[in-house]
A and B are shown apart, each in its own frame.
Chain A
Amino acid sequence: SQKIEQNSEALNIQEGKTATLTCNYTNYSPAYLQWYRQDPGRGPVFLLLIRENEKEKRKERLKVTFDTTLKQSLFHITASQPADSATYLCALDIDGGTYKYIFGTGTRLKVLA
């Protein structure tokens, strides 16, 4: 069946370390893959978008990679801070350039001081 999985439901890391979150998908050929942050009681907030022909994208302490062969995206937060604690969601457009985005199950990241 078609699905998007994020590596773990929860991830705890020590402040200052790099957090790496995984998004794996099957049976899709997305043109775009996005990462969002969601805090409790709030709507998701867009962080980064990476296109199918891009291998890597960076924004400040954030880095996203996209491997269409492995059908996987990695999301890194370097020098993590307690303020980075949130749930992170990946989303991809399931038919390559359509308006239909499917979201992953989310990873709840907790950065320990």
Chain B
Amino acid sequence: DTAVSQTPKYLVTQMGNDKSIKCEQNLGHDTMYWYKQDSKKFLKIMFSYNNKELIINETVPNRFSPKSPDKAHLNLHINSLELGDSAVYFCASADGQETQYFGPGTRLLVL
């Protein structure tokens, strides 16, 4: 069983489109994150939810909107995609403030 799963694994789309990435964890953790890893491999936090409540919202354009329907899921919706949104997006979950378990990543390419 995969602990943290993301769909889709690859996403190729045109500029201006709206897309969603889904994340699910079966670890029973309270906290989930979205990270963006750019072409230079720098991993940057975007959002974090704890028990379905948004607790971290970094300087991210309003086009990005996370949604947590329940503790096990954290989805990321992106409106009006831009070229600069091309990156790998990682979901992670954590039990408390310590170990984070990362998903396999979603590779987004905006053309």
- B-binding residues in A (CB < 8 A): 31-32, 34, 38, 41-46, 49, 87, 89, 91, 93, 97-103, 105-106
| Residues in chain B within 8 A of chain A (CB atoms) | 4, 31, 35, 41-45, 48, 50, 55-56, 90, 92, 94, 97-105
| Listed A/B pairs (28) with beta-carbon separation below 8 Å | A32-B97, A38-B41, A41-B105, A42-B105, A43-B4, A43-B90, A43-B92, A43-B104, A44-B43, A44-B100, A46-B99, A46-B101, A49-B99, A87-B41, A91-B100, A93-B97, A97-B97, A99-B50, A99-B55, A99-B56, A99-B94, A99-B97, A100-B48, A101-B100, A102-B45, A103-B42, A103-B44, A105-B42
Q: Which 6 A-B pairs have CB atoms at the shortest separation, nearest pair first?
A: A43-B102, A103-B43, A46-B99, A44-B102, A100-B56, A43-B90
Known contacts A89-B43, A93-B97: does B102 contact A99 (CB below 8 Å)?
A: no
With A and B bound together, what is the CA distance between A97 and B98 in angstroms? 9
A87: nearest residue on chain B (CB-CB)?
B41
A101 to chain B, nearest CB (A): 6
Contacts A45-B102, A102-B45 given; 4 further ones with Cβ under 8 A? Answer: A43-B102, A44-B100, A99-B31, A101-B100
Residues of A within 8 A of B31 (CB): 99
